[in-house]
């Protein structure tokens, strides 16, 4: 029986060792590759979780913007809703791009379709609100849109849970593969220990001992020590190859460890982003609502909720830029954090709106002290790079459980109180009172009624005579708006013009009134002029001049017969825009009159820059002219000033013959007031022109006749 010599046995052992080595290397490399793939999948799942949570936040913000639109119905609310809708559309598109084909992709596609349906319902709500159907819009908001919002939010929560589960599975897979590789290599080392008993002493020195060192290095690697030093990599045999392979493994282990740390950081960051505001670091609306939900779960522990809206913040953005606005918000956030012990939980809900909740007694004094502290904190000057700005705040306060027992009810109550605080002036705070909601509802009803009246043509022109002071000849009329209300009768403009301006229908009302005036005066003498009033907000519309001219052209009314009256405040609201509009009107022949002269803030420079045609002395200066009033000197100075600037002068509010006589003596050009006639419908004005005469409180006077300008 032949025997295999030791060399053959060693050779066989070497062959076996080489085979084992390459098998181990392949498994190690494969395991590391699988770990890398699993880690990449884990990162993708985390990104999807972040995107779904961002979508959930945005649908909540979109919901708040819808409520704001129904409450305020202004351009700012519409712009905010459009911005929220666009942001959510973009985020949904990003979520779709991140989600590959698979079991969850149909759910993401379904969310996108539901969002399209949601937007259509939202557009119907906006259209209803814009058409004056606020009640229908509110019903749609509370009905279909509420259901769609809840369904959408549930889908987002479910998807977030699925993506989190995927992330957990991929993370576990990566960890499992890494553990398998380490265990396998460690097992292979054990084989090396067994081999030392089968070879000669030189194998012990040349093979076993290096394997022992390698085993120690593997043990260190398995325990997380990736900084071990491997010796023997320079050998040109199997041991050296193993050392080099283990060195690669050590490097890969470092990469895996770094990736794992980055994964943990990304998870923590995603969690923080989902619950905190990225700019200020304060809790966001979702976090705040959760805190409020925990507080309202126990009615035995009263608390106070505050809504804060900054005053004078918009000019900071307009003048210094949005970076400066962000700096202001960040500085205020740091101040709130520094006073967290006194303030409780402070959150940024969005824009320049913050909310606060803290334990408080039913006694209002504690909440009032906190509100005063907030006012002091906010009002302190803020240093920008090259300027110092100051902002204020309007604060609304709701008490739990007195003013509401749910987060939504408390936030609404605090929001209504904040709105009341804003109407009361800057730097104010208000506690919620049920009457506030009644006032808001009454205001909303007024908005609807005014919008309806404009569309229905219930607001009609009245005509107040304008006469020449010298001789009393009729030279024209001022067009005054009167609301012929079906229930209240004639409503004066002070009651509805500010509302029409607030809800954005004043310009449409002006166009409708001018069209009716043009239809009514086509048969009146061409020598008569007609003045209409434009509000400061209308002068910011670059299209208003062309629209007014188009109406006059349509009815064949010469622009020279029209006079536009503006207030002094309009001259200083937006100097550039106002000057452009007035220049276009004058270019077409329309004259410009400065109404209520002496009651605003216009300067001589404004009179010169705007090239006005007429000034109208406010009625308040005509009181007591026949009794030696100080107003006599003021009126005479105004007339002298107007004459020196080559401006026509009209005096308003003439009620007595003595006032007429004084104005005639001082050289005033025109006058209007109850002495000559109140505002009257077109029929009475036409009759006045036809008869050519009327009595003045029983006093004899010359006939009122149509005079040439």
Instruction: State which residues of the chain have pLDDT below 50.
Output: 1-7, 9, 693-709
Other CB atoms within a 10 A radius of the CB of residue 224 amount to 8
Q: How, if at all, do strands 429-431 and 392-400 pair? A: parallel
**pLDDT on residue 353:** 93
Confidence (pLDDT) at 60: 82
Q: Where are the extended beta strands (E) located within 526-572? A: 529-533, 562-567
pLDDT of residue 602: 62
Predicted confidence at residue 705, as pLDDT, reads 44
Neighbour count for residue 676 (Cβ, 10 Å):
20
The predicted pLDDT at position 6 comes to 39
Q: How much is the pLDDT for 419? A: 83
Q: Supply the pLDDT for residue 574.
A: 67
The first and second tokens of residue 492, run together, are: 């004066």
pLDDT, residue 230, reads 64
User: What pLDDT score does 603 carry?
Assistant: 62
> Tokens 């026949």 correspond to what residue?
626
Report the chain's C-alpha Rg in angstroms. 40
Contact 341, 356 (CB under 8 A): no
- Is residue 346 a contact partner of residue 356, using CB atoms and an 8 Å limit? yes
State the pLDDT at residue 92: 84
pLDDT of residue 17: 67
| Helix spans in 227-343 (H) | 238-275, 285-296, 314-320, 322-338, 340-343
pLDDT of residue 707: 43
Our CA angle for 623, 627, 632, nearest 5°, is: 60
């Amino acid at each position: 029986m032949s025997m295999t010599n030791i060399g053959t046995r060693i050779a066989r052992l070497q062959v076996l060792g080489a085979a084992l080595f390459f098998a181990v290397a392949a498994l190690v490399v494969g395991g590391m590759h699988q770990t890398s793939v699993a880690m990449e999948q884990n990162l993708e799942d985390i990104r999807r979780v972040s995107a779904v949570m961002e979508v959930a936040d945005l649908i909540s913000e979109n919901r708040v913007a819808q409520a704001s639109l129904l409450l305020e119905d202004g351009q700012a609310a519409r712009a905010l809703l459009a911005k929220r809708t666009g942001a959510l559309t973009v985020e949904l598109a990003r979520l779709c791009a991140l989600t590959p084909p698979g079991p969850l992709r149909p759910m993401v596609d379904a969310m996108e379709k539901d969002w399209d349906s949601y937007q259509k319902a939202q557009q119907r709500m906006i259209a209803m609100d814009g058409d004056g159907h606020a009640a229908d819009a509110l019903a749609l908001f509370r009905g279909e849109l509420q259901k769609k919002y809840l369904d959408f939010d549930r889908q987002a929560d479910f998807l977030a849970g699925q993506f989190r589960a995927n992330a957990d599975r991929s993370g576990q897979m990566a960890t499992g593969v890494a553990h398998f590789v380490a265990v396998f290599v460690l097992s292979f080392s054990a084989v090396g220990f067994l081999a030392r008993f089968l070879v000669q002493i030189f194998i012990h020195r040349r093979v076993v001992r290096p394997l022992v060192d390698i085993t120690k290095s593997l043990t260190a690697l398995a325990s997380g020590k990736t900084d071990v030093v491997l010796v023997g990599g320079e050998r040109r045999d199997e041991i050296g190859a193993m050392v080099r392979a283990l060195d690669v493994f050590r490097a890969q282990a470092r990469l895996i460890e770094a990736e794992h740390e980055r994964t943990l950081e990304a998870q923590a960051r995603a969690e923080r982003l989902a619950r905190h505001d990225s700019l200020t670091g304060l809790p966001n609306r979702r976090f705040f609502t959760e805190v409020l939900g925990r507080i309202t779960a126990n009615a035995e522990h009263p608390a106070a909720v505050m809504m804060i809206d900054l005053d004078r913040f918009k000019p900071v953005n307009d003048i210094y830029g949005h970076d400066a606005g962000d700096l202001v918000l960040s500085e205020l956030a740091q101040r709130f954090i520094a006073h967290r012990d006194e303030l409780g939980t402070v959150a940024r809900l969005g824009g320049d709106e913050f909310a606060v909740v803290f334990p408080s007694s039913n006694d209002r004094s504690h909440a009032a002290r906190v509100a005063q502290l907030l006012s002091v904190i906010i009002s302190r000057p803020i240093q920008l790079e090259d300027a110092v700005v100051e902002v204020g705040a309007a604060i609304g306060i709701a008490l739990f459980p007195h003013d509401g027992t749910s987060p939504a009810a408390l936030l609404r109550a605090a929001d209504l109180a904040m709105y009341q605080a804003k109407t009361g002036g800057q730097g104010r705070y208000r506690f919620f009172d049920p009457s506030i909601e009644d006032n808001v509802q009454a205001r909303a009803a007024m908005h609807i009624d005014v919008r309806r009246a404009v569309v229905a043509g219930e607001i009609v022109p009245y005509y107040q005579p304008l006469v020449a002071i010298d001789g009393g000849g009729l030279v024209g009329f001022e067009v005054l708006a009167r609301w012929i209300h079906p229930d209240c009768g004639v409503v004066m403009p002070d009651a509805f013009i500010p509302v029409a301006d607030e809800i954005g229908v004043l310009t449409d009302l002006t166009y409708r009134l001018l069209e009716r005036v043009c239809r009514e005066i086509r048969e009146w003498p061409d020598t008569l002029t007609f003045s209409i009033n434009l509000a400061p907000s209308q002068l910011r519309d670059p299209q208003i001049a062309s629209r007014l001219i188009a109406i006059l052209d349509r009815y064949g009314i010469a622009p020279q017969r029209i006079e536009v009256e503006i207030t002094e405040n309009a001259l200083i609201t937006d100097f550039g825009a106002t000057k452009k509009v007035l220049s276009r009107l004058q270019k077409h022949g329309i004259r410009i009159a400065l109404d209520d002269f002496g009651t605003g803030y216009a300067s001589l420079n404004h009179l010169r820059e705007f090239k006005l045609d007429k000034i109208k002395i406010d009625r308040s200066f005509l009181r007591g002219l026949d009794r030696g009033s100080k107003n006599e000197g003021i009126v005479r100075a105004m007339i002298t000033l107007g004459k020196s600037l080559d401006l026509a002068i009209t005096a308003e509010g003439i009620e007595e013959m003595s006032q007429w006589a004084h104005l005639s003596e001082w050289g005033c050009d025109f006058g209007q007031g109850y002495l000559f006639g109140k505002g009257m419908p077109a029929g009475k004005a036409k009759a006045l022109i036809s008869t050519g005469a009327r009595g003045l409180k029983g006093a004899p006077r010359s006939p009122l006749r149509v005079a040439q300008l």
